[in-house]
Amino acid sequence: MDFRKLFLHSSLLVLHFAFSSSKDTITINQTIHDGDFLISRENNFALGFFSPGSSRFRYLGIWFRKVREQTVVWVANRDDPINGSSGVLSIDQYGNLVLHSYHNLKVPVWSTNVSVEATDTCVVAQLLDTGNLVLFDDRSKSTVWESFDHPTDTMLPGMKLGLDRRSGMNRFLISWRSAADPELETSHFRSTQKDHHSFVNNQNETYAAYSVSDASAILSRRFECDCLPGYEPKSPRDWHILKDASGGCVRKRLESTSLCGHGEGFVKVANVKVPDTSAAVWVSMNMSPRDCERNCRRNCSCSAYASIDIAGKETGCLTWYGKLMDTAHDREEGNDIYVRVDAVELAEIAQKWNGFLKRKDMLAILVVSVVSAWFVVILFAYLWLKKKKKKVRNKWNKRWLDTIGCAYYNETSVENQVEGSMSHPEIAFFNLSTILAATDSFSPSNKLGQGGFGMVYKGKLFNGKEVAVKRLSKDSGQGVDEFKNEVLLIAKLQH
C-alpha cells in the first residue's frame, strides 16, 4: 500500500517537473497544481492559482504576465473558492477541463461542462496571447469551449458581449463583490454601440445592450430619465421631487384593449440606443420599414419595433415584447425606434405638434418682420451716409481748389448760376472730378497759355477726346457773369 502511494506521488512529481517548464497547453495526461502555470506563447498572460488581496482562499484565474501588479482578467471558480493550496486542474475522460481539490476528488469545484465528441487523447487546452483559454479538438482544430464565452469582470480585445442565438449563451460582465472576493456581484455590464463596439448580426449572434435603467424609461444626454411616449412615471413624487427614477415608467392608460385594434399607432423616438435585445425578436434580416411596422402592428403584444441598417447592406426588422429596458439617447450612433401608443396618445402628440407648427409660423412671421424693418433702417442709413459723404467730398474739393488758387463751384451752384442752362444744349457740363482727371489736376505740363483772367490747360477725357480747360483765377477781376458769357461765346463759336 505504501509502495503504491509512493509510486503515485512519484508519478505526480514527474508530471509536475515535466510540466513546470513554461508551456501554453495542457493535455489529457497533464495537470496544473497550485504553484504551476500556463504561460501564453508571447508571455502576455498566465494561468494559475492566486489569492486576491488578503484572502486565504485560492482561485484559478488568468492575469497579465507583464504587468508588475497582478491584474486578474478571468476567474474560473469565483463562487467556489478552494481552501488552501490543494487545487488541481486537469482534463477528464469526457474531454472537459475540471478543477478539483485534493480533499474531494470526486466532486469537481468547477468544470467546463461541455459535450465533447472525441476520444480522450485529442482534446487540448491552450492559453492564447489574447488571454483566451481555449479547449479544442486537436484533430479537427474545432473549438469546444473558450473562456471568452464566459467573461467575469474584464473585457479584453477580441471578446464579444451579447447573445449567441445558436447556443443561447448570453455573454456579460459581472463585477467582483470586493477587491478580495471575486464572487458574483449584482452590477452587470453588457455591450453598447459606443466606444468602438460593433453592431453584429448574423445567424449566430445578435446585438444586446444593458445597464442600470428601468422599464420604459430613456436616459437623456444629461443623465436624466424621461419616460417613453405613452408612459408616465410610476411614482411621480419619487421621480420629480426625490429625483429617484428607479421605479421606472408605466402605461398612462392601463386598458389592455386600447393598444389592440382601437386606432393605436407608433411614435418615433430618434437617435437612441435600442432597448435590451435579449427580449427582442429578429423578424427578418431583410425587411422594409413599412413591412416591419405591419408585422409589429399585427401582434398586440409588440410594444416597439426598429428598422436597423446592418453593415450598410441589409435592413433588419427588430421587435420588442413587454417592457422596454435600457434605452438612452445617442445622437452619434443611435437608431430610431417606434414605440406603440394608444389612440389618445396619438391625438395628444398630434395636438402638440400642430401647436408647435402654429408657434413656428408665428415665429417665422416675426423673424421676417424684424428682418424687413432692419433692411429699411439699413437702407435709409446707407442713403444718408451717401449724401453726407458727398457733402464732405465737395467741402474737401473746395478747400483743395482754394489751396491751388482756383475758384470753386459745385455742380449745383454752376447749374443755378448759368441761367437758362437747359436752353443751351450746346453747353456740356462736367463735374470737377472729370476735369481734374483730364488735366492731371491742372498739371503745369498741360498748361497751354495764360490770359488776363486765368490759365488754359489741355486735357483728355476718358473717351479719348481732347479738350481745353480754362481755370478762372481767384485773383482775377473777371466775375462769374463775365465767365459765364465767355463760356457761352466759346460754345457758340466752337473755339
Please state the residue numbers annotated as binding site: 470
DSSP string, 14-81: HHHHHHHS-BSEE-TT-EEEBTB-EE-TTS-EEEEEE--TT--EEEEEEEESS-SS--EEEESSTTS-
DSSP string, 394-444: HHHHHHHHHHTTB----HHHHHHHSTTGGG-TTPPP--HHHHHHHTTTT-G
The binding site for ATP comprises 470
Whether residue 350 contacts residue 344, with contact meaning beta carbons closer than 8 Å, is answered with no
Q: How far is residue 277's CA from residue 324's CA, in Å, rounded to a whole number?
A: 9
Q: Which long-range contacts (CB under 8 A, 24 or more apart) does 179-186 make?
A: 179/52, 179/53, 180/52, 180/53, 180/54, 180/55, 181/52, 181/55, 182/52, 182/59, 182/61, 182/72, 182/75, 182/78, 182/152, 182/153, 183/78, 183/79, 184/78, 184/79
- Joined together, the cell numbers standing for residue 82 give 478552494
